[in-house]
Amino acid sequence: MWVETAENTIQQVVSQKPVSFEEQTYGIRLTGIVQGVGFRPFVYQLAHEWGLTGTVSNGPEGVKVVLTTDQTTANRFLETLLANTPPQALVEKYELESLPFCSFQTFKIIKSQAGKLTNGLKLTPDFAMCSSCRAELHDPQNRRFRYPFITCTQCGPRYSIQRAVPYDRAQTTMQVFEMCPACLDEYNDPNHRRFYSQTNSCPTCGIQLGWYTCRQATAYSSSFLHDTHWILDRAHRALKAGKIVAVKGIGGYLLLCDATNESAVATLRERKHRPTKPFAVLYPTLDVLQREATVSVQESDALLSSVAPIVLVRPHTTTSIAPSVNPGLTHLGVMLPYAPLLELIAHDFGKPLVATSGNRSGSPIIFKDADALTELSQVADFILTHNREIVLPQDDSVLRFSSFYAKQIVLRRSRGLTGSVNANGLTSTTSIQLSFGASQKSTFTLLAADNLHTSQYLGDLEDWETQTHFKHTLQHL
């Protein structure tokens, strides 16, 4: 019997059966956001601390723990586990059950059980870079110094790179990158913060940048294809010179230009055929942003969260932002670097950058490299790409806070907010229900039992490419 997580429920589990000190084998099943959040390494470490034997694995419904111990210990272990889950995890339901007796020598993480997404398991969203990875990224002594794809068990892409469940490297677009001995050592070390990190990589074995120069709507590749430092330097110089650079981010390509350069912003508007709709701005740090805009505690918390959305704030009248970034508006959409590649670009530039979805006006964000090279070469002067494939494209999410009660209002649900919807008591007992949102800002919601999936913002269905994108996202589920 599944137990909903709420106050006092742990006590209910403990008291379900009379206490027995006889050893038995127990299974613990947990579902919710439990994959891609460091759950297996967490259970492994906890079981070793407790001197328990058994296994932990991912499956299509979540995480499964098997232990051979006495009933009191099994209940207390579950209680401790639920009270100390990794920060990004959200256990929605759990179950403790008796299994046929099995003897184990030690406690191991074992191979995942394959299968289709079933009720309960939530698709894990992409997480903004964590503070530990940010510190390593800027540490000249660290082997991942200025590596644009640094991640750990607590941060990095998940939803956008996952091809199938359960979450394992082989089911993501990280599959093609084979870990070097140093990365493998971290991956196999229970005391390392990258123990069992499925996105683990480094400059030796990992993702590589590519740089293209666009001339007459054609993208030409550079011979310095894999030189990260050379490419980042080129990007910096181009932005400084008022050029437009298309950058492959987490959910798709973004178009960047100097947000303080009126001529650069006007050129972007002209080439993108977007005369007046406001652009979002990427600030290098919260400090730089706070010098230019009023940012409430709620707004800064959102900007610094693992979702790292665009947040609408009110700029000061003395702002350095070019007038055509948000013409005639009192508010400006701002964000902070959520991916290490964007962190390096924004950090090097030191000033705000326009960061808008790379697409033709009205079409979905471009996420395939071939499309970027043909379509974005008509808009950008340079294209900065990389060789980690994106499976599910997403725009940046957009939030604002109400002026009186500071309540969060989601204006666009996308990167960081997709795949993790609370059903809030909604349930469908007889069939799967599918509902579709408005035509211009389309999304869909799928309700199966009490599991609710709301898709990311998918765009205007007037556009043929948006329709294709809509079908692709629905079929992926």
- Which residues of the shown chain bind Zn ion in the complex (CB under 5 A)? 130, 133, 152, 154-155, 180, 183, 202, 204-205
Whole-angstrom Cα distance, residue 244 to residue 235? 9
Question: How far apart (Å, rounded) are the C-alpha atoms in residues 387 and 368?
Answer: 10
Contact (CB, 8 A) for 91 and 2: no
**Cβ closest to Zn ion, residue 133 vs residue 293:** 133
For Zn ion, the closer of residues 130 and 342 by Cβ is: 130
Neighbouring residues of 33: CB distance < 8 A, sequence distance ≥ 6: 88, 89, 90, 92, 122, 124, 125, 420
Shortest distance in whole angstroms from residue 137 CB to Zn ion = 9
Q: How far is the CB of 199 from Zn ion (least distance, A)?
A: 9
CB-nearer residue toward Zn ion: 139 or 462:
139
Could you give the 3-state DSSP secondary structure of residue 342?
Answer: helix
**In the complex, least distance from residue 156 CB atom to Zn ion, rounded to whole angstroms:** 7
Of 12 and 132, CB closest to Zn ion: 132
The one-letter amino acid code at 44 reads Y
Angle value at C-alpha 41, between 40 and 43, nearest 5 degrees: 65
133 to each of 136, 192, 219, 238, how far by Cα in Å? 5, 13, 33, 27
Least CB distance from residue 47 to Zn ion, whole Å? 24
Question: What is the distance between the alpha carbons of residues 58 and 170, in angstroms, rounded to a whole number?
Answer: 13
Question: What are the two backbone dihedrals, phi and then psi, of residue 73, each rounded to the nearest 5 degrees?
Answer: -65, -40
Which CB sits closer to Zn ion, 194 or 400?
194
In the bound state with Zn ion, the residue whose beta carbon lies nearer, of 93 and 158, is 158
Q: Which is nearer to Zn ion, 16 or 204 (CB)?
A: 204
| Residue 87 beta carbon to Zn ion: minimum distance, rounded to whole angstroms | 11
Residue 410 three-state SS = strand
Please answer whether residues 464 and 472 qualify as being in contact, where contact means their C-beta atoms are separated by less than 8 angstroms.
Answer: no
Q: In angstroms, give the least distance from the CB of 56 to Zn ion.
A: 21
Residue 444: how many other CB atoms lie within 10 Å: 17
**Amino acid sitting at position 279:** F
Nearer to Zn ion among residue 26 and residue 177 (C-beta): 177
Cβ proximity to Zn ion: between 92 and 343 the closer is 343
User: Considering the complex, what minimum distance in angstroms separates the CB of residue 204 from Zn ion?
Assistant: 5
* Closest alpha carbon to 448 in 9, 81, 119: 119
Least Å from the CB of residue 160 to Zn ion: 16
- What's at 83, amino acid-wise? A
Question: Minimum distance from CB of 342 to Zn ion (Å)?
Answer: 15
Whole-angstrom distance, CA of residue 151 vs CA of residue 174: 12
Hey, what amino acid is at 113? Q
Of the candidates 315, 314, 309, the residue with the CA atom closest to the CA atom of residue 355 = 309
